[in-house]
Every structure is written in C-alpha cells, then in structure tokens.
Amino acid sequence: MYQREIYAEAIARIDKRRQLARLTQEQHTDQIRQEFPEAAEIERQLHQTCFSVLQVSRDTDEASRKKRLEDIRKKTETADQMLRIILTENGYPTDYLDVKYTCGICNDSGFSNGIPCECLKREIAKVGAERMNANAMLTLCNFESFSLDYYADLPAEQFTAMQKIFTQCKTYAEQFSPNSPSIFMSGRTGLGKTHLSLAIANVVLEKGWSVIYDSASALIRKIEQEKFSRTPDAQTSDTLGMLLDCDLLIFDDFGTEFDTSFTKSVLYTLFNGRLSNGKPTIISTNLELKDLQERYGDRIVSRLIASCQNMLFYGSDIRFKKWKKQLNQT
Ligand SMILES: [Zn+2]
C-alpha cells in the first residue's frame, strides 16, 4: 500500500466532511428563509450591510468613517440577534444557521497555519489501519460470541479469574481512550486470548479509533519485506510507522516470529516507542515469562510486563472443546 494513497484517501474524507458541513448549512438557510419571511428579510439587510462596509471604507474623513462603521456593527449585531430569536422561538437551536465543522481547529480543511491538523493525522492513521486489517477475521470475534461455559469445568478459583478477565476486557473496550493502559495476555494456546483481543478491537474500531491487529510474525515479516525489498511498492509502505502511530495495537502471538537480531531491534523500537508515548498495546503470548526473557532479554520483557495490566488465561484448549461440541451436535 502506497503511503500517498493513504494520505489521499484521508484528505478525501476530510474534504467530504467540509462539503457536507457547508451543504447542511445551505439547506438550513434555505429552509429558514422559506419558513420565515422575516428571517429572509433580515438576511437581505445583513447582505446590504456588507455592501455598505465597502462604501464606508472609501470615506476619507476618519471620524465620519469610524462612526459609520460603528453604526454598521450595531445594525449587524441587532440583525443577528433577531435572527437567533426567530430560531429559538420556533424551536430551533441558536446555531442552526452556522456551518458546523467536525474539526473546529482547521474547519475541516486538514491544515491549520499551513501544518497538518491533528484531525488529518488521526484520519491517516485510521485509513492505514483499515487497509492493514482488511483480511482479518474480525467479524467473528466479539463479546457476544465469547462463552464462559467453556471454562465451567475449571477449578472455582480459575473460573473466577477467567470471569474477571472477561469483565476487564469488556470494560477496557467500553472505556477505551488513547491513554488507556497496555494489556499483556499470557497462557497456553487456544484459551481465548485472540478472541478477547479481537472483541476489544471491534468495540474500539466502532468508536472511531485506529486499531491494527495481526500476529507478531505477520507484522514483523511485513516490516522486514519493506526494509529489504527492492520493489518500489514495498519501499513506500511504512508498516512500522503505522504500528507506532495507531491508537491501539494488538500484537497477537508474540514469540512466534523468527528470532533474529532484526526482529529484536524492531520489537525494541516498537514497544519502546509506544510505551514512551503512552500508547496502548495488547500483547498476547503462549510463551512463559522465562522463555520470553531468554529470547528477548530482560530489557524488553521486564519493561513490558511492568507497564502492562497482566492477564493470565486458564483452561484447556477452547478450540478443541468447540470442535467436540460441534461433533456432538451433528
Ligand atoms: Zn482539523
């Protein structure tokens, strides 16, 4: 995916917002003009006043010019007040005739004082994330499709722990903000770590935040291809940049990627970058803590664990239980 395509798409979305805001304002104005002839009359006067300002500016006598401008200002203010009275008396909000932009900083132009506005940066991150997630199985995993029944034969203490994890994940998703804490999920394979992280992704995406999720090995492979590939297509993508920028990164199956010095340096850049900027990441792993420390060294692993909310998953392989249940039903 070309970075410039992502940029162009983000700009196009913001343009659309601006057009929609202006169109809505025009529709509101037309509607009010038709409904209330007196409002139309006030508008005509306001228009006339703008014209007078031009004439007054040609007045060479400074004192008279100041006085005439002050008169115009008062007239405009009164007309504006009358217009708002008509609106409120008829049950419309006072700002019904204003243009309502989504972003008040750049008025949906994407730029403020010549530099890209925060809203444009957010949109770029969002488009990038959407493109990366296009192939994933997001729709299947949500909180409704997660069943605690599969954990029912666990010892009471472990079942309670799983119940708690489920509730924590749900609350996390509902209260998500770009300053939310990171989560470290560990436990054997097939215990629901991926399911719950994708369920969180679903809710967070719906709220309009940018989320990227994939397995550690797939993400590292992409970064590696971009770094070493000679094709222009790969070179213009910036997966690492997108992983650093997105509001929530879900880094699934940490520990399954190839253990090379390149991988280590990418992981260090990634985790360190996100932790330093206070950006939340959900990391899941099937490996035990000591194995992770052995592979990546204490430097990365300790910092990760210390800065995350830790969730230890219990149970026997849920996928196996689901499969058995399906067999029994047929
Ligand atoms: Zn903006």
Query: What is the per-residue DSSP string for 116-153?
Result: E-HHHHHHHHHHHHHHHHTTS-GGG--STT--GGGGTT
Compute CA distances 60 → 56, 67, 71, whole Å.
9, 12, 17
Which pLDDT band holds residue 236 (cuts at 50, 70, 90)? low
Span from the CA of 123 to the centroid of ligand 1 (angstroms): 10
When the pLDDT of each residue in the chain is averaged and rounded to a whole number, the result is 87
Least confident stretch, 44-48, 71-75, 195-199: 44-48
Q: Residue 325 pLDDT > 80, yes or no? A: no
- Model-level pTM greater than 0.75? no
pLDDT of residue 322: 67
pLDDT tens digit sequence for 52-101: 777 887 888 888 888 888 888 888 888 888 889 999 999 999 999 999 99
CA 47 / ligand 1 centre spacing (Å) = 29
Distance from residue 110's CA to the centre of ligand 1 (Å)? 5
The pLDDT score that the predictor gives to residue 277 is 93
3 neighbors 236 (Cβ within 8 angstroms)? yes
Q: How confident is the model at residue 324 (pLDDT cuts 50, 70, 90)?
A: low
* Span from the CA of 295 to the centroid of ligand 1 (angstroms): 43
- What are 90-130's pLDDT values in tens digits? 999 999 999 999 999 999 999 999 889 999 988 988 888 88
* Spacing, Cα 106 to ligand 1 middle (Å): 4
Dist. CA 206–CA 309, nearest whole Å: 23
Give the domains, in start order, of the chain with CATH numbers. 3-112 (no CATH), 135-329 (3.40.50.300)
Distance from Cα 277 to the centre of ligand 1, integer Å:
21
**pLDDT value of position 1:** 44
Average pLDDT over residues 161-166: 94
pLDDT value of residue 247? 93
Per-residue model confidence (pLDDT) at position 297: 84
**Contact by Cβ (8 Å): 278, 244:** no
Q: What six digits make up the tokens of 158?
A: 């472990």
Non-local (6+) Cβ contacts of 194 within 8 A are 141, 252, 253, 284
Instruction: Specify the range with the lowest mean pLDDT, choosing from 11-20, 151-160, 242-251.
Output: 151-160
pLDDT at 282 exceeding the cut of 80: yes
